[in-house]
């Protein structure tokens, strides 16, 4: 007998929620506003972020700069609730899970079309998943293995029914299908026309259509007036790209944009003193430094621990983030299932660090970092790397730093020419596997440490198959302890989720996952 599911709860409530998530909001038509109301609201919402998207094909991106526009252009089979990571129906109206947990059968919404007029149906679902499975998957699909790594086969049962068979139980599978990476549905016709890529010409089913992307300047969306659900309330969305923090704040305070992110403690007063509002929520993220474990100097855990002992993390976090980030004691944020307060990282001890680094023969270290702010590090990668460099200098190690813009940095990470790289992670789905699976993944875009540990990989596989509850939480806590004992990462902090916005901006959803859903946003003039 099959168990019928229409939603699955993941117990994380973090996001600002004053309206349903963009798209998938229901089938009722929008109410017609009065002419007076129209006269008092703007037809355009302008959002400024610190970098361009890497691209607009969900299968080929792994960054929030890309995810923010993607979340308004595309939709997946499932979606998150506006105020949590609880799973709700979206392009799939309902689903059934087989008793053995290895088959998911989805009943799809009918009469849904992609922006190019292509029908959304079971064949479209199969097309989207199959392109991220062997033999079609390619090296530029960073989330394919994470999202669909347990998928055995996708079977079209009829026009609006699709079955996905798995190779093993995967408790996080429905949550993965709601993510803005890999999971959103793309028009098969557009993919065929674009040679399996829509990085510059996205075509989804969502409440907004793509208009244009002026690299280094802005990206423009317009309301999808043929949307299957409730039409978006604001006609145009403009994403502006302003790399400098102070320039982004100035644009907000001058009224050039309606909302910004990537802010740090130094600009909060500037934003609020100008009469603007500050959005703040607990952050589902981690800010860290990864050792390249394929380099001889950091192949040994003792050398990694000695390096970590040189850094006074508490002091660094307080100095850089001034109360807007909390010191990380584990990879997982404290509110997530699987968090264990007894896990211990390498403790600051300059003398032990100096002795350990000398014993390992480490005198020079090559660091790479990013120049722009990130949701997990508003102080920028440059400032964080310089702080670490200062600590290592005190114990006799010279650190050289190469700094790159975000797009270039992603390519440098992939190439692997570094001893140490600075990075971070924003939780995609509220599941501990989403964080801890990173260090079991073979993709260097996700596993920056390039750590290949068969014991850990099996621990992750076993934990993934467990049902939600104490046993599963304990399994992920054991994974945390295993990583910490081997000093694979040096974890710094968990940042608060922050954004500045004009007081006339209403009903946006800045989700716990870092996505920004805008179908209900209203901008008062």
- Alpha-carbon distance of 483 to 53, in angstroms, equals 31
CATH number of 23's domain: 3.40.190.10
Residue 280 in any domain: the answer is no
The answer on 224 and 118 residing in a single domain is yes
The torsion angles phi and psi of 434, rounded to 5 degrees, stand at -65, -30
Query: Tens of pLDDT along 466-513?
Result: 999 999 999 999 999 999 999 999 999 999 999 999 999 999 999 989
Query: Does residue 262 surpass a pLDDT of 90?
Result: no
Same domain, residue pair 143 and 290: no
Query: pLDDT category, 525, cuts 50, 70, 90?
Result: confident
- In whole angstroms, what is the distance from residue 259 CA to residue 522 CA? 12
Residues 517, 22 contacting (CB under 8 angstroms): yes
Question: Do both 305 and 400 map to the same domain?
Answer: yes
What pLDDT does residue 507 have?
96
Exposure on the CB side of residue 348, measured as CA atoms within 13 A? 13
183 and 209 part of one domain: yes
294-303 mean pLDDT: 98
Q: What is the H or E stretch that residue 129 is in?
A: helix 122-130
Tokens 């789905």 belong to which residue? 429
Tell me, yes or no, whether 249 lies in a domain. Answer: no
Find where tokens 């026009």 sit. 159
Question: How far apart (Å, rounded) are the C-alpha atoms in residues 253 and 245?
Answer: 13
> Token pair for residue 196?
């399996």
Q: What is the pTM of this model?
A: 0.84
Q: For residues 297 and 220, state if they share a domain.
A: no
pLDDT in tens, 266-288: 899 999 999 999 999 889 999 99
Q: How far apart are CA 68 and CA 83, in angstroms?
A: 17
- What are the CA-CA distances from residue 139 to residues 6, 43, 60, 440 (Å)? 34, 40, 9, 17
Domain check: are 456 and 514 in the same one?
Answer: no
Question: Where on the phi/psi map is residue 401: left (φ > 0), alpha (ψ -120 to 50), or beta?
Answer: beta
Same domain, 419 and 508: no
Structure tokens at 290: 């990864």
224 pLDDT band, cuts 50/70/90, is very high
Give the pLDDT confidence of 400-432 residue by residue, as tens digits. 999 999 989 999 999 999 999 999 999 999 999
Cα–Cα distances in angstroms (integers) from residue 319 to residues 142, 160, 305, in the given order: 34, 55, 23
Instruction: Let me know: does 488 contact 497? Beta carbons within 8 Å.
Output: no
Q: Given strand 92-97, what is the order of strands in its sheet? A: 3-5, 92-97, 103-108, 161-166, 151-158
- Across 394-420, b (16+ Cβ under 10 Å) vs e yields ebebebebebbebbebbebbeeeebbb
502 and 474 within one domain:
no
Rg of the chain over Cα atoms, rounded to whole angstroms, equals: 23
Same domain, 477 and 516: no
CA dist., res. 285 & res. 514, Å (int): 9
In a domain, residue 244? The reply is: no
Between CA 285 and CA 425 the distance in angstroms is 5
Whole domain around residue 478: which residue ranges? Answer: 285-495
The DSSP letter of residue 512 is T
Residue at 453 is within a domain: yes
pLDDT band at 100 (very low <50, low <70, confident <90, very high): very high
Residue 89 lies in a domain: yes
Q: Can you give the CATH number for the domain in which 394 is found?
A: 3.10.105.10
Scanning 402-487, the segments in alpha helix (DSSP H) are 406-415, 432-436, 454-465, 470-485
Q: How does strand 208-214 pair with strand 218-223?
A: antiparallel
Q: Which residues pair with 281 in a beta bridge?
A: 497
Claim to verify: residue 362 and residue 397 sit in the same structural domain: yes
Q: How confident is the model at residue 249 (pLDDT cuts 50, 70, 90)?
A: very high
Evaluate if residue 37 carries a pLDDT over 90: no
Residues 224 and 166 reside in one and the same domain: yes
Average pLDDT in the 160-164 region? 98
Distance CA(142)–CA(47), nearest Å, equals 26
> In this structure, is residue 20 part of a structural domain?
yes
- Given a cut of 50, whether residue 30 has pLDDT beyond it is no
> How confident is residue 36, by pLDDT bands cut at 50, 70 and 90?
low
Are residues 323 and 361 both part of a single domain? yes
Residues in the chain: 525
What's the pLDDT tens digit per position in 352-407? 999 999 999 999 999 999 998 888 998 889 999 999 999 999 999 999 999 999 98
Residue 125 placed within a domain: yes
SS3 sequence, 296-316?
Answer: HHHCCHHHHHHHHHCCCHHHH
* CA-to-CA dists, residue 34 to 31, 38, 41, 340, 518, angstroms: 9, 6, 11, 53, 21
- The structural domain count of the chain equals 2
317 falls within a domain: yes
Q: Please report how many Cα atoms fall inside a 13 Å half-sphere around the Cα of residue 157, on the Cβ side.
A: 12
pLDDT 10s digits, 178-198? 999 999 999 999 999 999 999
The distance of Cα 211 from the centroid of its chain, to the nearest Å, equals: 24
């Amino acid at each position: 007998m099959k168990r019928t599911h229409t939603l699955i709860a993941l117990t994380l409530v973090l996001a600002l929620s004053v309206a349903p998530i963009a798209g998938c909001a229901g089938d009722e038509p929008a109410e017609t506003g009065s002419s007076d109301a129209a006269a008092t609201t703007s037809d355009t919402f302008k959002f400024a972020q610190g970098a361009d998207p890497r691209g607009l094909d969900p299968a080929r991106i792994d960054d929030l700069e890309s995810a923010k526009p993607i979340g308004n252009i595309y939709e997946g089979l499932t979606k998150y609730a506006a105020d949590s990571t609880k799973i709700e129906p979206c392009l799939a109206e309902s689903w059934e899970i087989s008793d053995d947990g290895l088959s998911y059968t989805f009943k799809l919404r009918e009469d849904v079309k992609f922006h190019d007029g292509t029908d959304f149906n079971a064949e479209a679902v199969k097309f989207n998943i199959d392109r991220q499975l062997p033999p079609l998957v390619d090296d530029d699909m960073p989330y394919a293995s994470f999202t669909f790594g347990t998928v055995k086969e996708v079977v079209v049962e009829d026009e609006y029914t699709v079955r996905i068979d798995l190779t093993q139980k995967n408790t996080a599978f429905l949550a993965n299908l709601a993510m803005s990476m890999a999971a959103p549905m793309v028009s098969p016709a557009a993919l065929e026309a674009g040679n399996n890529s829509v990085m510059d010409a996205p075509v989804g089913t969502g409440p907004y259509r793509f208009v244009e992307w002026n690299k280094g300047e802005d990206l423009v969306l317009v309301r999808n007036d043929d949307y299957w659900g409730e039409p978006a309330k604001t006609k145009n969305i403009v994403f502006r790209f302003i790399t400098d923090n102070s320039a982004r704040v100035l644009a907000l305070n001058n009224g050039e944009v309606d909302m910004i992110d990537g802010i740090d403690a130094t600009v909060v007063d500037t934003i609020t003193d100008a009469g603007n509002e500050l959005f703040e929520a607990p952050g589902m993220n981690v800010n860290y430094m990864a050792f390249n474990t394929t380099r001889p100097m950091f192949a040994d855990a003792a050398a990694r621990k000695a390096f970590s002992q040189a850094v006074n993390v508490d002091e660094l976090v307080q100095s850089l983030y001034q109360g807007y980030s909390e010191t990380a004691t584990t990879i997982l944020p404290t509110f997530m299932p699987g968090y264990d307060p007894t896990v211990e990282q390498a403790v600051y001890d300059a003398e032990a660090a100096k002795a350990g680094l000398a014993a390992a023969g480490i005198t020079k270290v090559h660091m790479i970092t990013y120049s722009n702010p990130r949701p997990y590090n508003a102080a920028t990668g440059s400032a964080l790397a310089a702080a670490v460099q200062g600590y290592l200098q005190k114990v006799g190690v010279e650190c050289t730093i190469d700094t790159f813009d975000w797009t270039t940095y992603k390519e440098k990470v992939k190439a692997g020419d570094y001893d140490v790289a600075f990075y971070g992670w924003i939780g995609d789905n509220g599941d501990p596997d989403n964080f801890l699976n990173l260090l079991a993944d073979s993709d260097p875009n996700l596993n920056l440490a390039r750590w290949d540990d068969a014991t850990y990989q099996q621990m992750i596989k076993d934990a993934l198959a467990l049902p939600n509850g104490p046993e599963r939480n304990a399994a992920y806590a054991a994974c945390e302890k295993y990583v910490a004992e081997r000093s694979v990462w040096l974890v710094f902090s968990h940042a608060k989720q922050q954004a500045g916005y004009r007081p006339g901006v209403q009903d946006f959803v800045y989700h716990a996952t870092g996505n920004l859903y805008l179908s209900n946003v209203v901008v008062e003039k």
